[in-house]
Structure 1
Amino acid sequence: MALSRIVMRLARNPGTEFAGGDDHRGYTLTAPLTADGHLDEAAYAKAKDACTVRRFAPDEDAVDGRLARKGQRWFFDYDQGDSADDEPVFRLGDHIFAVGEYVTITDEDGRPLTYKVVEVQKAG
């Protein structure tokens, strides 16, 4: 099973302080993808420990976590013992991870922000 490295950068988010986007804020996700670019749920079940996320921004230290799932809800988890830090990802299982696609992530302050997929490559 191959993992992919997916880089998402903050897209334009009108009505927020990020109206013009910010290429220096985003996420790097490592996860298995199907041939058409969706999350591969079967492969994820076998490789949960290898599915990681790193949140980066210029005004804070990078934060490492993991891709997690409860039922149909996918989220980024930065502390397994504390659900308060979880960042839900809107309909993550429905997204296609391909360059130019968009993903909505609810940040640590509870705001849904849109990110653009800027890179997808085999991890390793």
Structure 2
Amino acid sequence: MPAQGGHKFGMTWKTVRLELAGTPDFPNGSAARAYLLRLPLNDDGSVDEARLADHPGYATVRRHWPNQPDKSGYLLRKPAGWAFSFAVSADDGAPQLRIADPIRPGTTALIAEADGITLPFRIVECGA
């Protein structure tokens, strides 16, 4: 692969797995309720903003939920953080993501679902 910005193209794009953390309905969390994010991450876990700006269509999300079809879409960088778009329009009332930077396993992210409920998710994996 050709080098871009001193890196091979595929080297910084990582899959980040978020699993539902403890809630009143799921005190131990739930691995069956998960999001898979695809983001360009530097070695320190921070988002590679230059890589993201060069290839925003590669920043994807997949939602896995029991008894519901999976949803696939894109991660969008917004002034207040991140949003997921599961529809053609970027203004589809999609879930909002608040995630710490750097992104590391063991930390927690908050996702405000389209229905207005905010749920905690733990980052369980940041891999290739």
TM (norm. structure 1) is 0.85
Structure 1: distance between partners of 2:48 and 2:80? 13
Which 5+ residue runs of structure 1 have no aligned equivalent? none
- Maintained 8 Å contact 2:85/2:92: no
Give the Å deviation of 1:82: 5.7
Structure 2: distance between partners of 1:82 and 1:74? 12
Classify the secondary structure of the residue corresponding to 1:80: coil
1:74 corresponds in structure 2 to 82
Structure 2: distance between partners of 1:59 and 1:19? 20
CA deviation profile, 1:66-89 (whole Å, cap 9, x unmatched): 010233431111113262331111
1:7 corresponds in structure 2 to 17
Whether 1:107 and 2:109 are equivalent positions in the alignment is no
Whether 1:98 and 2:104 are equivalent positions in the alignment is yes
Whether 1:48 and 2:56 are equivalent positions in the alignment is yes
CA deviation profile, 1:27-52 (whole Å, cap 9, x unmatched): 00001012211222221111111110
Structure 2: distance between partners of 1:63 and 1:85? 14
Structure 1: distance between partners of 2:88 and 2:79? 16
Aligned residues with identical type, % of pairs: 29
TM (norm. structure 2) is 0.83
Report the more deviating stretch, 52-61 or 69-78. 69-78
Whether 1:31 and 2:39 are equivalent positions in the alignment is yes
Q: More relative contact order in 1 or in 2 (CA 8 Å, sep 6+)? A: 1
Task: Flag the 1:31–1:105 CA change in 2: closer, same or farther, 3 A.
Answer: same
Q: List 4+ stretches of structure 1 deviating above 6 A.
A: none
Which 5+ residue runs of structure 2 have no aligned equivalent? 1-8
Q: Which amino acid aligns with 1:71?
A: P
- Maintained 8 Å contact 1:54/1:62: yes
What CA RMSD, in Å, does the superposition of the two structures yield over aligned residues? 1.6
1:63 corresponds in structure 2 to 71
Count of residues paired in the alignment: 118
Structure 2: distance between partners of 1:18 and 1:107? 17
CA deviation profile, 1:85-124 (whole Å, cap 9, x unmatched): 311112x3x43222111111111211111101111112xx
